[in-house]
Amino acid sequence: MSTPPTETGTIADPGPLGLAAFATTTFVLSVFNAGLITDKSLAAVVLPIALFYGGLAQTLAAMWEFRKGNTFGATAFGSYGAFWPAAGSAWSRPCAPGTPRSQASPTPPTAAPSCRSSRTSPSTCDRTAATTGRSGSTPDRHRR
């Protein structure tokens, strides 16, 4: 016995929107992370693309995929649609804890600056080493 087909309405296929949003957002972030664009003033484009095209467009595509009955597409686009705003909010922090604001990078971080990095001042590394007894590590939060 088969299940009768359900009426999905006149909704277009949301797959191309979700895939384009994923591909474009990932490509733009990768271009900046790879250092292919060195103009730091252009880095301001990454956060809005991550929030609105990567996040909002994929979330909408996920809702439309649910409406069409495509569970896999809805789950994939919904997951990435939630990921991009979360990543964008993490990038809105200026730098890792303990790094002076003047040394913060305007681009999305690929890793927290360490004492070996040119972005941190020697005083930050000295404070870290004095606090933990280890150079280049983060303070032990469980110590009182």
Quick one: which of 57, 136, 124, 44 has its CA closest to 91?
A: 44
- Mean pLDDT, the chain, rounded, equals 75
- Cα R_g (the chain), whole angstroms: 21
Task: Kindly report, residue by residue over 70-115, the tens digit of the pLDDT.
Answer: 999 999 999 999 999 988 888 776 556 666 666 665 555 554 444 4
pTM of the entire structure? Answer: 0.59
Kindly list the domain boundaries of the chain, sorted by start residue. 15-91, 98-144
Name every residue whose Cβ is closer than 8 Å to that of residue 51 and which is 6 or more positions away in sequence. Answer: 84, 85, 88
Q: What are phi and psi of 2, to 5 degrees?
A: -105, 155
Is pLDDT at 117 greater than 90 in this prediction? no
- The Cα–Cα gap between 56 and 78 comes to 10
